[in-house]
């Protein structure tokens, strides 16, 4: 639940149900969680799948510190990071990925995979993700492949000269 | 204990620097062995798929350093398999640069004029062709029209692409499924194999030591074909000479790790790294303005919305490549495509009120992804990069099974580099925001530092032993018989895509390497034609051969 809330801070989405606590509902349409961020993080190929519990523990420690510093009360029935309002989750993530954070690379990595789940569906074959209406690829308007699963765009060019070439271009087409 | 294998020439890496050397030396009669740390894939293996473990993670490497991230190839064919195939020559002034050392960085023997015949050899071999406006994609056309609207020029870029085969799928970073990209898998490497060269994939060289006969012993690990963090064996091969072409992110690391056995390295090994001054801006194009201002129509009612369609960079603007301008104020701009993932995470929201690279506003930016136009800038940086002590193996501590690792490079952009980026950002903004055409923001450098797809200069050529690791024949100073032919030899940022210059230098280094092999008793000659048998390139370099084989 904690890492869902983190992924939802990177690419926010709408709540999956009215009582969804991890997803804050800050943006219409599916976000990183609906896109499969947790499935991706749990994929051994990422290299982070074995340390997710550590990530969640550290994130909740940072959330508790943030709450204390800002005098925020936390709902103890959910993990501290999940208990934070979206704006405060965002503030924690900004701090963790900021220039002054010693272990920022760890948090950038977590953000990177959260982002990849949404923008590339890296835990799925892209053809399957497209067929399933993957929320990230759909949001981006990623265009469909041909029936054989390969992309081809026979229409790709305006087909006319749109600028004058540089006057010093050499006969081989390079800068002089 | 098993007996050590031996070969005449051991080449580390099979990208431009390795493949060119492998072909010429094998064709000349030498026994050539190439060790490549990545896998060996061909057209049918190249997937249109973002799934981790597909070709794009198998053949591509992303090394995060301190202030600089390096992107490069990790497969047989190296960078040529994953790159975008833009192949301009470097402008004349690039060879005259002084940088921060106060004297010409390039060896006196190399100018644009003297390198032109070597460029010609590579142009013939790949081959490289000029694109025309019918080859220019929607995104390239949009960029050209925007340049024109801003009173600038714009050129279709010469490219190593077979236009008849290209489908404009924009999966170039995953390898070309259609063999339209003229990678080394289609020219130098098959020609090298035909002449008896041997290529061993998944062999990662760790360090070198000396043999009693003045040659070198090359120590390697064998890498698992799925989990690159796992080593499944190791071994050694003895060679009369070694050619390092592991790329500017790896060649200096191998040499650093070899100091314990070879002795001190030249000061410039692992220093003076250049990221080729690279920088990216992402614009979100206003469809209506593109139609009204630029008169662009795709024929289906849309003006643009074609970010996904194309073949990497096809149009460049060279108005700021003016040798009369001061260093760091000269740069080229190129329209570009990066696939999502790499191409989305660092893009920033213009005028963000919250975080600029993640969160609610970023999602809205991503929602307009098909209207994105990415512009690639290459300025003159200041050779600021320095490699720290080498990691346990390879050139990075691998994090993921494939692709992602933590490297040792440290890069802090100088005021000069920052000025170049600021000036070029301002020009990009002027071109693309003029009359409301688009909103534009540079990618953030606050997440993974600066970044480069063209690492250079970490083991560079030059005339000055204090600031260059290689002499002008690309032999490592104080370590005869070790040559470096990859991007690490290029002394400084070029203001354009460097692959053609790296290749031309590798071609130019071959006569000297042949001479060294002959001196070490190998029966080898120089003078092979182009991989397809063409000979005009060979004729063009004839007048320079005497100087390149001097004692």
- CA within 13 Å, CB half, B39: 21
- Average pLDDT, integer, range B183-196: 98
Q: In chain A, whose CA is at the least distance from the CA of B314?
A: A157
Dihedral pair phi/psi, residue B71, rounded to 5°: -115, 135
B1 — pLDDT class (breaks 50, 70, 90) = very low
B102 — pLDDT class (breaks 50, 70, 90) = confident
| Residues of chain A contacting B51 with CB distance shorter than 8 Å | 121-126
| Residues of chain B contacting A101 with CB distance shorter than 8 Å | none
* Residue B551 confidence (pLDDT): 54
pLDDT in tens, B120-147: 999 999 999 999 999 999 999 999 999 9
- Decide if pLDDT at B543 tops 80: yes
Q: Report the alpha-carbon distance of residue B261 to residue B242 in Å, rounded.
A: 15
- Average pLDDT, integer, range B218-239: 98
Mean pLDDT of chain B: 96
Q: In chain A, whose CA is at the least distance from the CA of B358?
A: A10
3-state SS assignment for residue B121: helix
Interface test with B, best of A158, A166, A170, A172 (most B CBs within 10 A): A158
* Residue B547 confidence (pLDDT): 87
Helices first, then strands: H and E counts in chain B: 14, 19
CA A127 from chain center: how many Å?
20
Of A126, A149, A152, the CB nearest to B50: A126
* Residue B100 confidence (pLDDT): 83
- Average pLDDT, integer, range B356-361: 98
Reading the block at residue B544, the tokens are: 């320079």
The residues spanned by each domain of chain A are 2-140
* Residue B550 confidence (pLDDT): 63
Helix/strand/coil percentages in chain A, nearest 5:
50, 0, 50
Structural domains in chain B, CATH included, are 1-125+174-272+382-411+449-551 (3.50.50.60), 130-159+278-378+412-448 (3.30.410)
Of B50, B158, B446, the CB nearest to A121: B50
Q: Report the alpha-carbon distance of residue B326 to residue B78 in Å, rounded.
A: 34
Q: How many CB atoms lie within 10 A of CB B520?
A: 17
**What is the mean pLDDT, run by run of 10 residues, along chain A of 176 residues?**
98 97 98 98 95 97 98 97 98 96 94 97 97 97 96 97 97 93
Q: In chain B, whose CA is at the least distance from the CA of A51?
A: B399
pLDDT in tens, A4-16: 999 999 999 999 9
- Decide if pLDDT at B2 tops 80: no
pLDDT in tens, B320-338: 999 999 999 999 999 999 9
How much of chain B, in percent, has pLDDT values that exceed 70?
Answer: 99
- Average pLDDT, integer, range B265-285: 98
Q: List the one residue out of B109, B128, B141 whose CA is nearest residue B509.
A: B109
Give every CB contact of residue B96 below 8 A, 6+ residues apart in sequence: B104, B106, B111, B323
Reading the block at residue B507, the tokens are: 């071609």
Of A26, A156, A161, the CB nearest to B168: A156
- Average pLDDT, integer, range B372-400: 97
């Amino acid at each position: 639940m904690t890492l869902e809330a983190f992924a939802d801070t990177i690419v926010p989405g709408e709540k999956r149900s009215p009582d969804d606590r991890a997803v804050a509902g800050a943006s219409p349409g599916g976000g990183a969680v609906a896109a499969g961020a947790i499935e991706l993080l749990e994929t051994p190929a990422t290299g982070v799948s074995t340390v997710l519990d550590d990530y969640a523990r550290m994130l909740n420690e940072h959330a508790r510190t943030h709450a204390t510093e800002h005098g925020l009360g936390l709902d103890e029935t959910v993990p501290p990071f999940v208990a934070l309002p979206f704006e405060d989750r965002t503030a924690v993530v900004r701090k963790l990925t900021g220039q002054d954070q010693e272990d920022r690379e760890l948090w950038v990595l977590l953000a990177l995979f959260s982002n990849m789940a949404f923008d590339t569906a890296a835990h799925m074959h892209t053809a399957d993700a497209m067929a399933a209406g993957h929320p990230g690829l759909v949001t981006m308007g990623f265009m469909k492949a041909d029936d054989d699963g390969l992309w081809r765009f026979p229409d790709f060019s305006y087909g006319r000269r749109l600028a004058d070439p540089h006057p010093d271009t050499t006969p081989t087409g390079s800068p002089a | 204990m098993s007996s050590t294998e031996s070969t005449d020439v051991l080449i580390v890496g099979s990208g431009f620097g390795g493949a060119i050397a492998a072909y010429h030396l094998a064709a000349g009669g030498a026994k050539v062995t190439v060790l490549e740390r990545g896998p060996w894939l061909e057209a049918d293996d190249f997937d249109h798929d973002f799934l981790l473990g597909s070709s794009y993670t198998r053949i591509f490497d992303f090394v995060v350093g301190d202030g600089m991230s390096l992107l490069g190839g990790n497969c047989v064919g190296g960078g040529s398999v994953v790159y975008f195939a833009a192949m301009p020559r470097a402008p004349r002034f690039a060879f005259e640069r002084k940088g921060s050392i106060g004297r010409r960085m390039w060896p006196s023997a190399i100018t644009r004029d003297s390198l032109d015949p070597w460029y010609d050899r590579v142009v013939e071999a790949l081959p490289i062709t000029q694109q025309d406006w019918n080859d220019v994609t929607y995104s390239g056309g949009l960029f050209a029209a925007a340049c024109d609207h801003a009173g600038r020029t714009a050129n279709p870029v010469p490219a190593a692409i077979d236009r008849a085969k290209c489908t404009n799928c924009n999966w170039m970073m995953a390898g070309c499924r259609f063999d339209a990209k003229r990678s080394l898998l289609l020219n130098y490497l098959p020609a090298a194999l035909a002449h008896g060269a041997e290529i061993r994939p998944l062999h990662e060289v760790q360090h070198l030591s000396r043999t009693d006969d003045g040659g070198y012993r090359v120590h390697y690990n064998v890498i698992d074909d799925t989990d690159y963090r796992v080593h499944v064996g190791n071994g050694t091969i003895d060679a009369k000479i070694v050619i390092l072409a592991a790329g500017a992110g790896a060649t200096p690391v191998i040499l650093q790790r070899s100091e314990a056995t070879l002795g001190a390295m030249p000061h410039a090994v692992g220093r003076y790294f250049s990221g080729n001054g690279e920088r990216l801006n992402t614009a979100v194009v206003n469809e209506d303005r593109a139609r009204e201002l630029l008169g662009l129509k795709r024929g289906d009612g849309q003006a643009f919305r074609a970010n996904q369609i194309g073949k990497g960079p096809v149009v460049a603007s060279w108005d700021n490549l003016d040798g009369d301008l001061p260093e760091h104020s000269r740069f080229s701009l190129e329209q570009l495509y990066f696939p999502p993932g790499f191409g989305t995470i660092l893009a920033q929201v213009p005028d963000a009120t919250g975080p600029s690279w993640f969160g609610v506003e970023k999602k809205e930016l991503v929602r307009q992804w098909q209207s994105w136009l990415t512009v690639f800038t290459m300025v003159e940086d200041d050779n600021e990069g320095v490699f720290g002590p080498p990691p346990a193996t390879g050139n990075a501590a691998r994090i993921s099974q494939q692709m992602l690792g933590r490297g040792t490079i440290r890069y802090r952009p100088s005021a000069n580099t920052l000025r170049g980026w600021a000036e070029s950002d301002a020009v990009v903004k002027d071109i693309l925001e003029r009359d409301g055409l688009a909103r534009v923001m540079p990618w953030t450098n606050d997440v993974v530092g600066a970044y480069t797809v063209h690492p250079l200069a970490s083991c560079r050529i030059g005339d000055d032993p204090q600031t260059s690791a290689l002499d002008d024949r690309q032999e490592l100073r104080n370590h005869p018989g070790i040559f470096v032919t990859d991007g690490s030899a290029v002394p400084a940022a070029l203001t354009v895509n460097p692959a053609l210059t790296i290749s031309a230098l590798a071609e130019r280094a071959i006569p000297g390497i042949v001479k060294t092999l002959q001196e070490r008793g190998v029966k080898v000659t120089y003078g092979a034609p182009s991989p397809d048998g063409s000979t005009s390139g060979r004729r063009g370099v004839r007048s320079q051969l005497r100087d390149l084989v001097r004692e």
